[in-house]
Amino acid sequence: MAKVAKTRLSRGLFLDRDIEQFREQLGRFRPFLSKTPPSSVAEFDQATERLISQVFGESSDLLEAYEYAQLGEAASLVNLPEEAQEPGAQDTDRESLQQRKRVLESCISELEARRAEGFRKRRLNLTAPHVSDFMEADIHSLNQDAMLKEAGRLLKKHRIGSLLVDDDKRYVGILTEADICRKAVAQGLDPATTPVKACMSKPIISIEGDQPILEAVQLMKAKGMRHVAVTEDNTIVGILSVSDLVRYYSGVE
């Protein structure tokens, strides 16, 4: 399997700085478009290729486009003296330079579009309801060695559909009403002698509380789950259930 390179762009880092670098590079390129351009653009091309590779990746279409733009100039010159060049060679050189310029402008446009999309998503996250707005903050749990009978008693007492399971040090799983039905009742296991760890689901699937509620909907749908743990800085602070989603969709606070 081909290795996927993690570029700065794919990680969403340094967009402002990258945009500024490409703008500066475009400024350095402008003298090449003048009537008396510098003698060689090769050093500039190498620097530009490195910049595109760092930001967009070595296999990006933009890098390929820039490399292709250079071919027009190379094909028109083929090391012939000026008087031996065919008519139109200088026009080909000029078009090659224009193509380089267009690629640089495309790099800037792509980065600005990414930045605008990031702003849009952040605005949505600020205005959309968050998971923490609808989660149940009271966490109920029991030890993994407790019997299913005790788990059933707690579920009934607190009128909830799930319990976190711990090993006295950390949470190691979650036990839901569905787990008890599918893994215990359906198989004829004795709730008085069957430990919780025999039926709990693990690992615990979680979502950060500051995520939009719709992210939780998609997660629960993808995992086929009715309960997910809610975290804050990777620490469990609540539980979100299907009933909480119903409350969200019904507009009940």
Statement to judge: residues 200 and 112 lie in one domain:
no
Statement to judge: residues 201 and 237 lie in one domain:
yes
Q: What's the pLDDT tens digit per position in 206-219?
A: 999 989 888 999 99
Average pLDDT score, the chain: 83
pLDDT at 195 over 70: yes
pLDDT at 196 over 80: yes
> Coil, strand, or helix at residue 105?
helix
Q: Is 214 exposed, middle or buried (0-12, 13-18, 19+ CB in 10 A)?
A: middle
- Of 42, 43, 64, residue with least CA distance to 53: 64
Q: What's the one-letter identity of residue 217?
A: V
Q: How confident is the model at residue 88 (pLDDT cuts 50, 70, 90)?
A: very low
Statement to judge: residues 159 and 107 lie in one domain:
no
Statement to judge: residues 12 and 122 lie in one domain:
yes
- CA 17 to each of CA 8, 51, 59, 172, 245: distance values in angstroms, whole numbers, following the listed order: 11, 12, 21, 43, 40
Judge if pTM exceeds 0.75. Answer: no
Task: Say which residue, 136 or 75, is predicted with more confidence.
Answer: 136
Round to whole Å and give the CA distance between 35 and 58. 33
pLDDT at 46 over 90: yes
| pLDDT of 13 | 55
Alpha helices in 57-171, H assignment, sequence order: 61-77, 89-127, 148-158
Statement to judge: residues 123 and 145 lie in one domain:
no
| pLDDT of 248 | 79
Statement to judge: residues 174 and 232 lie in one domain:
yes
Q: Is residue 1 part of a domain?
A: no
Q: Single out the residue in 102, 127, 152 at which a domain terminates.
A: 127
Q: Single out the residue in 77, 106, 127 at which a domain terminates.
A: 127
The H or E element containing residue 20 is helix 15-29
Q: Is residue 150 part of a domain?
A: yes
Pairing of the two strands 171-176 and 162-166: antiparallel
Statement to judge: residues 160 and 215 lie in one domain:
yes
User: Percent of the chain, pLDDT > 70?
Assistant: 83
pLDDT at 8 over 60: no
Statement to judge: residues 69 and 168 lie in one domain:
no
| Lookup: tokens for 65 | 């486009």
